[in-house]
Structure 1
Amino acid sequence: MDLTGLTAFALVTALLVMSPGPNGVLIARTVPTSGKSAGFANIAGFVAAFYVHGTLSILGISVILVQSAAAFTAVKLLGAAYLVWIGLKALHAAWRGGVSQVAVAPARRERTLARAFVEGFLTNALNPKVSMFYLAAFPQFVSHGESAAAAYALVSVHSSINVLWFGSMVLLFSKVSQAARGPGFQRGVKLVTGVVFIGFGLKLATQRAPV
C-alpha cells in the first residue's frame, strides 16, 4: 500500500474512532470507579477484538479473490454502499444538529483488569459497526497481491489510533470526554465524516477487480 492509501485509511478510521460510540461510554463507566489501569485494560480489549476481526477479514479477502471477479465486485459494492450509508447518516445528523448529551453513570462496582479487558473485547467483538467495517470497508484498502503482513499493518494503524484517542481519554478523562460530547465537536466530526465517507464510497465503487 502506498502512502496515499495508508493516509486515506488512517483518516477513515480516525473519524470512526472519534465518533461517539460504545467504546467512549465504556471508558466513561470504567475509569471513575476502577481507575486508569482498568481503562487501559478496556483499550487492550478493543485492540484484541480488532485483530480478531482483521484476521477473519484477511482470510475472507483471500478466498474471495481466489473464487471469482464477481465475488470481488459484490464485496466492493457492499463496501462502497456501507461507506456512503455512513456518510449520509453523518451528514443528516450534522444537518439536524442533534447531539447526545446524556450523562454516563460510572459503574457501581470496581472492575478487575481481567474483567475490564473482557468488557473491552466483547464491546468490539460483538459491535455490528466494527464487524461491518472489517467486512465491507477494510477489504477496499487491501490491494490485490499484498501480503497478510501489509493487511495486518492496517489493523495496527486502526489499533494505534484507538490507543491514542482513548488513551488520552483515560489520562485526561474529564476534559477529553467532556469535549468529545460537546455539540460543536460532535457536529464537526459528523460533517467531515459524511463528506469523506461518501467520497471514498463513490471512489471504491469504480475500483476494478484484480485480473
Structure 2
Amino acid sequence: MAKTVPISGRKAGFANVWGFVAAFYVHGTLSILGISVLLVQSAHAFLVFKLLGAGYLFWIGAKSLLSVWKARQSVPVASVQESKKVISIRGAFVEGFLTNVLNPKVSMFYLAAFPQFLSIGESASQAYFLVSAHAAINLVWFSAMVLLLSKLRGLASSVGFTKWLKSVTGVVFIGFGAKLAFLKP
C-alpha cells in the first residue's frame, strides 16, 4: 500500500486494503472449518504454506529493489518517471489479497483468538462477527494510511522519494519473507 498509493493513486490504495481485508475472511473461514488446525498441526502443510508466503514476500521485495536498480541504470529522468508501473485496481486488490492470504500468522492469530471469545457450540455467524470486527479495525486503520499517503502524494511522487520508498519497501518485504521462512510452527 505504501508503494501503491504514490504511484497508482488513492483508488488503487483502497483496492489494496480491500484485498487485504478479503483475505481475513479466507483465514476466518479456514479457521471455522478447522483447516487452520490441520495447517498448524501438520508440519509439512505449515512448511509449504509458510514457504509460499515467504516466496511471495521475497518476490515483491526483489521486484521493488530491481526497479530501483533499473532506474539507476538509465540516465534520463523522464525514463525514471515512465518506469513507474501504475497498478490497476484489480492488480492492487490481488496484491493486497495475496500478501495477507499467504501469511500463516493470520490463521494462527484466529486459532489463538477465537477460542477465547467463542463458546462451544456457537454458530459460525458468531465467528464471522469476530472476523468482521477484525476486518473493520484493519479497514479503518489502513484506509487512514491510504488517505495520509494520498495527501503526501506530491512528495511521494518525486523521483528521489520514489527510489527511497521502493528501496525501503523492498528491504522490508525481503526481511518479512525471511522472518516468515524461518518461523517455527
TM-score bucket of the superposed structures, by smaller chain: 0.5 to 0.7
CA distance in 1, matches of 2:14, 2:57: 28
CA distance in 2, matches of 1:161, 1:167: 10
Please name the residue that 1:188 is paired with.
168
Q: TM-score, normalised by structure 2?
A: 0.59
Q: Secondary structure at the match of 1:98?
A: helix
Corresponding letter in the other structure for 1:168: L
CA deviation string 1:141-188 (max 9, x = no partner): 433451545544543454345323321232232113337852223212
Q: Cα distance, 1:81 vs. partner? A: 0.7
CA deviation string 1:86-133 (max 9, x = no partner): 454325864895266344699xxxxxxxxxxxx85x4544x1x33323
Q: Secondary structure at the match of 2:111?
A: coil
| The one of 110, 124, 129 aligned to 1:142 | 110
| The one of 24, 30, 43 aligned to 1:60 | 30
Please name the residue that 2:139 is paired with.
159
Q: Cα distance, 1:140 vs. partner? A: 4.0
CA distance in 2, matches of 1:159, 1:80: 25
Are 1:69 and 2:35 an aligned pair? no
- CA distance 1:79–1:187, change in 2 (3 Å): same
User: Do the aligned partners of 2:27 and 2:101 also contact (CA within 8 Å) in 1?
Assistant: yes
| The one of 94, 98, 101 aligned to 1:132 | 98
Are 1:26 and 2:8 an aligned pair? yes
RMSD: 3.9
Please name the residue that 2:151 is paired with.
171
Q: Secondary structure at the match of 2:158?
A: helix
Aligned length: 159
User: Do the aligned partners of 2:58 and 2:173 also contact (CA within 8 Å) in 1?
Assistant: no
Q: TM-score, normalised by structure 1?
A: 0.54
CA distance in 2, matches of 1:63, 1:180: 48
CA distance in 1, matches of 2:143, 2:81: 24
Q: Secondary structure at the match of 2:97?
A: helix
Give the unaligned 5+ runs of structure 2: 72-79, 118-126
CA distance in 1, matches of 2:81, 2:112: 44
CA distance in 2, matches of 1:153, 1:75: 28
- Identity %, equivalent residues: 6
User: Do the aligned partners of 2:56 and 2:177 also contact (CA within 8 Å) in 1?
Assistant: yes
User: Do the aligned partners of 1:50 and 1:124 also contact (CA within 8 Å) in 2?
Assistant: no
User: Do the aligned partners of 1:94 and 1:190 also contact (CA within 8 Å) in 2?
Assistant: yes
